[in-house]
Chains A and B, each alone.
Chain A
Amino acid sequence: MLSYYFRMAMHSLKRNKALTGLMVLAIAMGIGASMTTLTVLHVLSGDPLPGRSGSLYYPQIDPRDMADYGPNVEPPDQLSWIDGMYLLKAKRATRQALMTGGMVPLQPAQSSIYPFHAMALYTSADFFPMFEVPFQYGNAWGSAEDDSKARVVVISANLNDKLFGGQNSVGKTLRLQETAFRIIGVLGAWHPQPHFYQVYMGSYADEEDVFIPLSASRDQHMDHAGETDCWGNGGGDNNTLEHAPCVWLQFWVQLGTAQQAAAYKDFLVHYSQEQHAAGRFLRPPNVRLRNVMQWLDYQQVVPSDTRLQVWLALGFLMVCLVNTVGLMLSKFMRHAGELGVRRALGASQRALFGQLLMESGVVGLVGGAIGLLLALLGLWLVRQQPTDYAKLAHMDTRMLLATFGLAVCASLLAGLLPAWRACRIAPALQLKAN
């Protein structure tokens, strides 16, 4: 039966090529624009660590003075050195790591390569097991290296390829800002996107090239990059950041269960109360404990232009659909006489309705296929843009299926009203009119 409906639909569509083409094109453009922007939104708001992101949390506390104080003020996005070190040493979570980013001058041993800036992350030992960072060679440092301010470094696969031709470089020396660091590990492929753990160096930045113990980076006066927010009479001077009333560190903890998370939040409140009582915190306790996805949402890592484009494209799709409904209606009504004959010859309203819907379904499917090509073209155009997320704009299977789903649903929806109107035609009236 379906194949008969299909043949009928094809026959009917072929009869009026211009109108059919117009409908297909309208659906295709609407779908193409929507899927391009939705795919970009989808990849940009993706989960960087699927399966684990729910148990990773970003604690925030409020150590600022009373200037700008008000109800419902969010605590600062980062931690000061004193609070960060206290929370790190308290070890109240399963794992915890303190970190900040920087650009470090790197002097390759080969004289053929001029010194260059390497993107660095200064962090503590738990960073690697907490985020399940894969290693190609060697391994991460432990808390002993953190404590002894050891000059050790973990490098990315990229940097290892660039400097050592992809060979095992563990044990070799890397000169960073005039100081020799020993390579103890080389990472495997690891590209969490968005760059959730450090959003201050670009939300969709590549991962860092060198990972250095935070203690060693402070010992070597390595500049920290990203945001430094100070209050009172604090200055963002790199050398006195340990004592300044400034927040500049990011802190992540791993908490297995909801109970653990609740307990950790209590711990943060308790700590704030203690500091408040001691006179160091002037504000009443104000803490947040967001998991990865909540943190990314709060930070609004997805550019607002991207969201605006999605709105625009969906509006565009809507106009295309209304357009298709109108054209479909005129097409069906034009053949009202023929439908009347079919009704008179015994076709049920239901059968007619099914046939007409099949026709709009075919339009949707073809429109979807062309729309998919347009979306692929659109994504290619997005990838040519010099934004840091451009390289992420690829279609995955889910979005591919969603494209066809959207196209067929949209055109069936568009066919619904015209088909309903057309199949309600009284057969006698039509025959009489003819």
Chain B
Amino acid sequence: MSLHPMIAALRKHKAGVVLIALQIALTLAIVCNAIFIIYARIQNVQRPTGMEESNLFLITQQWVGAPSGDDPADLQKLDAMMREDLNVLRSMPDVVSVTPINTLPLFPSSWNGSAALKPGTDLRAGNARTTFYFGDEQLLKTLGLHLVAGRNFTAADVTHRGFRDATESSIIIVTKPLADKLFPQGDALGKAIYLNGGNTPSTIVGEVERLQVPSVASWASGFVWNSAISPVRMNINFSRYAVRTKPGRLDAVMRAVPSKLYAVDAMRVLDDDSVKSFKDIRADAYRADIGMAVLMGVICLILLAVTAAGIVGLTSFWVGQRHRQIGVRRALGARKIDILRYFQMENLMIAGGGALVGVALAVGLNRLLMSKFEMQSMPTFYVLVGLAVVVVLGQIAVFVPARRASNVPPVVATRSV
């Protein structure tokens, strides 16, 4: 099929052609950036934390009138209160294991620092940033972490200290990514590292496969898998406990917990939020990301629908306008399929032209968004997918009016309007 008559015909409709092409270009630019944003968010949400996430919940509570934890006697008292709570929780039916803990992955509270190979090393001098978890010998079991090398803590390893005590524990379990970062040869086990620029060594006794940091914000994206676990019960006037229950017994245990703890000591604050399943913690952490992804998806769909409707509308107008010419072509021997092909080809040219402009717009928009928001550079793949989507959309949209055009009978040629 010669393109020459088609281009000559399009020249008569410059405004319409430019409008459709522009609309396709804008749609392409917006849709592939939106899909890229959706993908980035979904990828964030779907990464596993490294824990067994079901049958797990977290308790946060604060004692009222507890000692402020300044002298050894206070610390002993705080620690006794914590051990009492732990005993009660561990004796509950349907509870598998319990650990005191400072926070959990995806929970909005974190304790971050650094790990280095030399004592007293400055925090900012290229050492591994890491997050710290404090718990006892049941932490690995409770969180369901996979130990890939070395050993777990024993009850004898676990110490307790005050919140303000900067002493680092002498043994530590780290995640494999952190171990590999510090010891690229993979011989981290048994080696000493120095935490937070301190001078006392901590020996790596075990490695777990994976454990995410608490924060999901962008500032923590550089060290998402760098976690260190210390065998320490942290004595402050509040405490957190992670609890693993038997399968299916999560809700029952969660409901029973407040009264059990109040029975130990009623002088404490347990809010509505204090007993929280990990499922809810995860939902809270990623709610904004999921909301944004859904919104982007809906906008994309509407946008594509609007563009398709616009193509249908304008092409219908052209078909109406060229009613007679189509009749003449049919009378001169053009088959139905020729007419159909003509309109589809025409649309392909317009959509193709618009899509080329759209590719440039999409890349430009991506650069603009990168400068204004924390966003990555968009891989070419997304632009190609967007291009394919708008061209196919154009072909589908043009089919209805093109079919109608192909059904114009040749006899129209003989009639005057």
* A contact residues vs B (CB 8 Å cutoff): 19, 22, 26, 29, 33, 67-68, 105, 107, 114-117, 177-178, 221, 235, 237, 239, 303-305, 307-309, 311-313, 315-316, 318-320, 322-323, 325-327, 329-331, 333-334, 385-387, 417, 421, 434
Contacts and interface: CB of A to CB of B under 8 A. Distances in A.
B317 A330 contact: yes
Nearest to B288: A305
B267 A115 contact: yes
A331 to B, nearest CB: 8
Contacts of A311: 369, 372
Interface stretch (B18-26, B82-90, B241-249, B340-348): B18-26
Contacts of B295: 309, 312
Contacts of B309: 22, 26, 323
A68 B124 contact: yes
A73 B213 CA distance: 29
Contact of B70 (A107, A239, A312): A239
Contacts of B316: 330
Given A326-B23, A326-B313, A117 B269 contact: yes
A270 B205 CA distance: 55
A105 B269 contact: yes
B271 A327 contact: no
B26 A326 contact: no
Contacts of B299: 33, 312-313, 316
A174 to B, nearest CB: 14
Contacts of A307: 372-373
A308 B40 CA distance: 14
Nearest to A318: B26
A417 B373 contact: no
B34 A312 contact: yes
B64 A319 contact: no
Contact of B314 (A305, A315, A327): A327
20 contacts: A26-B306, A26-B310, A105-B62, A115-B267, A115-B268, A117-B271, A239-B70, A239-B164, A308-B37, A312-B30, A315-B365, A316-B30, A319-B23, A322-B26, A323-B23, A326-B23, A329-B16, A333-B321, A385-B287, A385-B291
Nearest to B312: A22
Nearest to B417: A434
Contacts of B167: none
Interface in B212-257: none
A221 B16 contact: no
Given A68-B124, A115-B64, A323 B310 contact: yes
A61 B394 CA distance: 59
B288 A387 contact: yes
A304 B374 contact: yes
Contacts of B73: none
A322 B23 contact: yes
Contacts of A305: 288, 292
Given A22-B309, A105-B269, A312-B299, A421 B417 contact: no
B317 A107 contact: no
A272 B321 CA distance: 78
B152 interface: no
Interface in B1-45: 15-16, 19-20, 22-23, 26-27, 29-30, 34, 37
Contacts of B124: 67-68
Given A105-B62, A316-B302, A326-B313, A386 B287 contact: yes
A319 B27 contact: yes
Contact of A116 (B262, B271, B314): B271
A322 B22 contact: yes
Given A26-B306, A29-B302, 11 more contacts: A114-B262, A115-B64, A115-B267, A221-B68, A305-B288, A308-B37, A319-B23, A319-B30, A322-B310, A334-B317, A387-B288
B313 A22 contact: yes
Interface in B159-174: 164, 166
Contact of B26 (A19, A107, A303, A319): A319
A311 B299 CA distance: 12
Contacts of B374: 304
A239 B374 CA distance: 37
Interface centre among B15, B23, B313, B321 (most CB of A within 10 A): B313
A76 to B, nearest CB: 17
A31 to B, nearest CB: 13
